Amino acid sequence: MSWQDLLCATCGGRVAEARCSTCRAARAHFEGQRVSLPAGPLLVLAAVLFALLVVLVR
């Protein structure tokens, strides 16, 4: 689920559509909160955890 799936309590529409001022404020807040994770370290971590799992299963 992402912020684009949220429904506004004020107008009942999707926040991504920004029908009212509450939606527009929430959308502006969430758009400023974007976090991008680097793929390289995550892949290394996944590989290490997989290797550890293989060693422990044997």
Is it the case that residue 3 has pLDDT exceeding 80?
A: no
Cα 41 from Cα 58, distance rounded (Å): 26
- 0.85 exceeded by the pTM? no
Q: Which amino acid is at 4?
A: Q
Q: What percent of the chain has pLDDT over 90?
A: 28
Cα 42 from Cα 51, distance rounded (Å): 14
Domain residues of the chain, as ranges?
3-57
CA–CA distances in Å: residue 3 to residues 25, 51, 53: 13, 35, 34
pLDDT band at 30 (very low <50, low <70, confident <90, very high): confident
